[in-house]
Amino acid sequence: MANFENITIEKGMYQGKGGLTGALEALDPSENYVGTSLEGLDAFSRQLKRYDIRVSGRGSDCVEKFFQTSNSAALFPEYVSRAVFQGMERADILPNLVATVTDIEGMDYRSIVSAPSEDDKSLKMVSEGAYIPQTTVKTRENLVKLHKRGRMLVASYEALRFQRLDLFTVTLNQIGAYIARAQLKDAIDVLLNGDGNNNAADNVAVATSGTITYDDLVKLWANMSPYELNTILAPTAEMQKILALTQMQDAKAGLDFQGTGKMVTPLGASLLHAPEMTSGKVIGLDKNCALEMVQAGGVVTDYDKLIDRQLERAAITCTAGFAKIFTEAAKTLS
């Protein structure tokens, strides 16, 4: 039975696992709305509908619409968090680098490692009754370093009350983009230098210093074995060198780049532009097994100040770190 119009929203809902949306879903499950006009909306979106708050489009409401009642005011921090996360998603290339995302509730996390030898990588024939070779998995010696990234949003309620929410969303999206770029820089640092467990990326030397040729890319591909080279990450200068290769100027590569903006190398790997890289190196990796992302809590908005003090000062943060899974699944070219 529909229950979204009878829920009392409190600040304490933000502190449970899953935050406000998790608490609302527990009280008002989305499965109850299958086959209704509200199907496809989550519990938070139904609350926006309840208070007739439109956050996007030409008919979007002003910020003050959230603060007409105490219940609707309690929805505002979640709107902020979602708008920031939306900006992170738009600017984020981490999904193209990360093999898995681990959510934790504390600040301490120790990843696992399996470091097979060349002999271990070959699955030998096992005779009847013979000993089966084993793969050892153990915890890393050092903890994953988590970094808190965020922005302090400073504005008075009076300054924003008549601003449209769609315009305010653009500002929050940009904050999310800043956070995503900072996290990408952290990920690149771990890929290059390791996560503190003596697992920096091996380097494949180019034939001629300062240049990148097709033969260099083939050499990088060959050195990745037995892992797959499916992603290449390059800073601006090296990206220009790769795009200038004759092999990148064939009809198919040009059509893909001009039509979709997606760049694919002649080796079939996705080519990603990373201006955050300053080392002059190119990173080749197997995105399926190179990097683990560890995050604590997702996007967090300081809800007390947003609700009680009406946007005087609000901290928007995201805490995350990165760990290598298989050291040899990422190599550099320079």
pLDDT in tens, 124-148: 677 777 777 777 777 888 889 898 8
Mean pLDDT of the chain: 85
Q: In this predicted structure, what is the pLDDT of residue 333?
A: 94
pLDDT band per the 50, 70, 90 thresholds, residue 303: low
Q: In this predicted structure, what is the pLDDT of residue 280?
A: 84
CB within 8 A of 24, min separation 6: which ones? 7, 9, 13, 42, 43, 44, 46, 47
Q: In this predicted structure, what is the pLDDT of residue 237?
A: 93
Phi, psi of 62 (to 5 degrees): -85, 160
Q: In this predicted structure, what is the pLDDT of residue 123?
A: 63
Say if residue 27's pLDDT is above 80.
Answer: yes
For residues 272 and 282, what is the distance between their CA atoms, to the nearest angstrom? 10
Higher pLDDT, 160 or 265: 160
| Measured CA distances, 62 to 169, 184, 236, 313, 314 (Å) | 11, 33, 40, 19, 19
| Bridge partners of residue 150, in order along the sequence | 317
3-class DSSP assignment, residue 80: helix
Q: pLDDT by residue (tens digit) across 324-333?
A: 998 899 999 9
Say if residue 261's pLDDT is above 60.
Answer: no
Q: What is the mean pLDDT of residues 35-51?
A: 92
For residues 303 and 95, what is the distance between their CA atoms, to the nearest angstrom? 28
Higher pLDDT, 196 or 133: 196
Q: In this predicted structure, what is the pLDDT of residue 128?
A: 76
Is the distance from CB of 193 to CB of 184 less than 8 angstroms?
no
